[in-house]
Amino acid sequence: MDIRIATRDDWPGLWPIIEEVVRDGRTYCWPVDAGEDACRDWWMGKPGGSVYVAVDADGSIAGTAELHPNQPAAGSHVANAGFMVASRASGRGLGRALGRHVIEEASKQGFTAMQFNAVVATNTHAIRLWQSLGFEILATVPGAFRHPDLGPVGLNLMYRSL
């Protein structure tokens, strides 16, 4: 498993992973019917952002992450990031590998901390992963995510210094 910077040419391999996560609607505040162009801008078009791909030995993309400043200017030293893994590649520690890689990259880029603004409170897999990588829940905004099965659930603000 190789993790490297993504290029625009990687989009055809990225889109099925992003589409799967977006259509599912249980982990991201993103319209479940969002089109491909909107998703590409969202994942690859953030100001000051970097996108990474986890590539299998056969060259296929199994997961992706994006790293960007959480705020502009006076807040730009704190990073934000997003992570997605193909369901076919789950259980292989790919989220953890991407997480470690992005934490290291963020540190190299000069970020001094990383925060996630909207970790769905029912996404226990992700919460445990981030806690094991040093993040803590600073706050839960009550009912801020309308879960398609469960109704309103919290959104966690998670944070770690770098």
Choosing from 7, 87, 90, 112, the residue that interacts with a copy of itself (CB under 8 A) is 112
Site residues (CB under 8 A) for a copy of itself, limited to 41-60: none
Structure tokens at 93: 């520690």
Whichever of 13 and 25 has its CB closer to a copy of itself, that residue is 25
User: Closer to a copy of itself at the Cβ: 12 or 148?
Assistant: 148
Give min distance, CB of 162 to a copy of itself, in A.
Answer: 11
**The one among 53, 118, 127, 129 contacting a copy of itself by CB under 8 A:** 118
User: Using an 8 Å Cβ cutoff, are 160 and 134 in contact?
Assistant: yes
Q: How far is CA 42 from the centre of its chain?
A: 11
* Among 130, 123, 134, 56, residue whose Cα is nearest residue 96: 130
Shortest distance in whole angstroms from residue 4 CB to a copy of itself: 29
- Shortest distance (Å) from residue 87 CB to a copy of itself: 19
| 14-38 CB burial, b ≥16 within 10 A, e <16 | bbebbeebbeebebbebeeeeeeee
Rg (CA), the chain: 15
Task: Return residues touching a copy of itself (CB under 8 A).
Answer: 25, 28-32, 70-78, 112-113, 115, 117-118, 138-148, 152, 155, 157, 159, 161
